[in-house]
């Protein structure tokens, strides 16, 4: 971009949002150069120059966003929506520069409807701020993401996130009734009032998982719940991972409604569970939780425990379950989370019960055997359970990765190739809840096969100049 173009664009953007809501300062541009994706963070860590956005813009309304997108179309420059920047996939990384569209000024709660149990809020609202407001009315948005303190409502929906209690309450996308969206060409639309209707084809779900490539979510109406009267938690230890998975399957297929099943593989039990909760145990540690009416929750817990015991589980009682609940987010933050100088990645996936254990062993073997020389650690837990299957939240950790940035990129990409190939060859999806972003973009064509060109055609129709978040989600 020439200096002249830069100034022309800047003056047009200033007309829309005002001078104080645009920054081109080097320090701000560096802050917005990376989200939580290991690769661009490593690039910065090694002192290499990242790609920076040209402008950081803080619009205050959907109308302003529409005007910004029209300017971007005129000059054919990229626009990257930025919520909290807590995504781990490089979805908000400005790989081609352009406009960084920080939506956090769109942060108002517009309506809490206590009859229909819904909340309508602007998409840039922080997850915890929204939750605190609902809690004051005895309500909760049951999307308990470990990143709620730094993520936004739009950031929950755009990559199809799942929170800790999704096993009963669903993914973020299961809670949204309708959205206001600014299309790439600047039209402002609102999807139908509810998604469950028979009023024609469903374009609503097209925007969930589009991660800013199909437009900008500016408002959403979410279904909320009453805060539960009781939350019962219990832990069980299994010596056999397959039996533990079988127990989880029965809890789901018999519809015992656990709000959480968190099953750590023996490697995670020996490392993460020990580090965060202080328990030294051999085997697979499983936490299950039941909530709502105290009598119903107690009965569900009792029936579930019977299933676990019949499959060889050892009842550890309530205390280790409650302790896990109290520390559930501590697994992801210092001093327990993954950190430099390690190389790491969360190669999470989802599949049906018939394939789940096989996929776990296939991915574990592939990663451990291929990268044995790098002393790779592979750990995993099973979370986000469905009636038909569950998510495997697997991770690799290389304690001493190459220091040279280019070499580190090559090793990192090779490990991802190995892990995702194991997923695709064993019937899994490339992701369950972190989204695709930049990290998994190159696997989209392989995942969708002959269906992929159809999505490319939709993208071309919605975003003819390709301004929205280029390089992400396969586009």
Which spans of this chain sit near ligand FAD (rule: CB under 6 A)? 35-36, 80-88, 91-92, 103, 123, 145-147, 151-152, 154-156, 158-159, 161-163, 211-212, 216-217, 332, 433-434, 437, 469, 472
Partners of 287 in the beta sheet?
235, 262
CB-based contacts of 369, cutoff 8 Å, min separation 6: none
Residue nearest to ligand FAD (CB): 155
Which lies closer to ligand FAD via its Cβ, residue 154 or residue 266? 154
Nearest approach in angstroms of CB 160 to ligand FAD is 8
Which lies closer to ligand FAD via its Cβ, residue 421 or residue 465? 465
Nearest approach in angstroms of CB 143 to ligand FAD is 8
Structure tokens at 409: 């990129």
Nearest approach in angstroms of CB 269 to ligand FAD is 20
Which lies closer to ligand FAD via its Cβ, residue 84 or residue 321? 84
- Whether the CB-CB separation of 156 and 127 falls below 8 Å is answered with yes
Nearest approach in angstroms of CB 351 to ligand FAD is 18
Nearest approach in angstroms of CB 348 to ligand FAD is 10
Nearest approach in angstroms of CB 262 to ligand FAD is 12
Which lies closer to ligand FAD via its Cβ, residue 158 or residue 350? 158
Nearest approach in angstroms of CB 85 to ligand FAD is 5
CB-based contacts of 332, cutoff 8 Å, min separation 6: 146, 147
Which lies closer to ligand FAD via its Cβ, residue 152 or residue 304? 152
Nearest approach in angstroms of CB 440 to ligand FAD is 12
Which lies closer to ligand FAD via its Cβ, residue 8 or residue 150? 150
Which lies closer to ligand FAD via its Cβ, residue 79 or residue 308? 79
Nearest approach in angstroms of CB 146 to ligand FAD is 3
Structure tokens at 5: 């173009």
- Whether the CB-CB separation of 219 and 121 falls below 8 Å is answered with yes
Which lies closer to ligand FAD via its Cβ, residue 103 or residue 251? 103
Which lies closer to ligand FAD via its Cβ, residue 54 or residue 301? 54
């Amino acid at each position: 971009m020439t200096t002249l173009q830069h100034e022309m664009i800047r003056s047009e953007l200033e007309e829309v949002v005002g001078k104080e809501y645009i920054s081109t300062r080097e320090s701000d541009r560096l802050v917005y150069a990376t989200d939580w994706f290991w690769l661009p963070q490593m690039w910065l860590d090694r002192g290499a120059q990242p790609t920076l956005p040209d402008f950081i813009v803080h619009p205050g309304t959907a109308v302003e966003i529409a005007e910004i997108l029209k300017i971007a179309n005129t000059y054919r420059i990229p626009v990257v929506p930025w919520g909290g920047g807590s995504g781990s996939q490089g979805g908000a990384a400005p790989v081609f520069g352009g406009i960084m569209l920080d939506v956090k000024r769109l942060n108002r709660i517009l309506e809490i409807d206590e009859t229909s149990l819904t909340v309508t809020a602007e998409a840039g609202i922080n997850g915890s701020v929204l939750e605190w407001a609902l809690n004051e009315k005895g309500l909760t948005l049951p999307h308990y993401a470990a990143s709620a303190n730094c993520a936004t409502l739009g950031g929950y929906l755009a990559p199809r996130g799942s929170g800790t209690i999704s096993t009963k309450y669903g993914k973020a996308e299961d809670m949204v009734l309708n959205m206001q969206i600014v299309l790439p060409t600047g039209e402002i639309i609102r999807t139908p009032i509810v998604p469950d209707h028979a009023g024609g084809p469903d374009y609503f779900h097209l925007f969930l998982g589009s991660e800013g490539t199909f437009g900008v979510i500016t408002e959403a109406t979410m279904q909320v719940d009453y805060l539960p009267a009781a939350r019962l938690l219990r832990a069980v230890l299994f010596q056999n991972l397959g039996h533990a998975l079988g127990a989880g399957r029965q809890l789901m297929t018999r519809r015992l409604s656990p709000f959480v099943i968190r099953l750590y593989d023996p490697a995670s039990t020996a490392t993460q569970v020990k580090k965060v909760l202080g328990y030294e145990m051999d085997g697979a540690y499983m936490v299950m939780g039941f909530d709502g009416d105290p009598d119903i929750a107690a009965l569900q817990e009792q029936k579930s425990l019977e299933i676990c015991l019949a499959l060889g589980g050892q009842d550890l009682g309530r205390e280790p379950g409650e302790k896990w609940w109290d520390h559930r987010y501590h697994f992801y933050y210092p001093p327990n989370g993954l950190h430099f100088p390690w190389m790491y990645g969360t190669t999470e996936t989802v599949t049906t019960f018939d394939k789940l254990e096989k996929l776990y062993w296939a991915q574990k073997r592939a990663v451990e055997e291929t990268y044995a020389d790098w002393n790779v650690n592979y750990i995993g837990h099973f979370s986000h359970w469905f009636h038909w299957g569950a998510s495997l939240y697997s991770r690799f950790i290389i304690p001493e990765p190459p220091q040279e940035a280019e070499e580190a990129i090559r090793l990192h990409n090779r490990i991802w190739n190995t892990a995702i190939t194991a997923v695709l060859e064993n019937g899994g999806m490339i992701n369950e809840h972190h989204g695709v972003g930049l990290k998994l973009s190159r696997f989209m064509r392989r995942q969708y096969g002959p269906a992929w060109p159809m999505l490319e055609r939709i993208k071309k129709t919605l975003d003819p100049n390709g301004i929205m978040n280029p390089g992400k989600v396969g586009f």
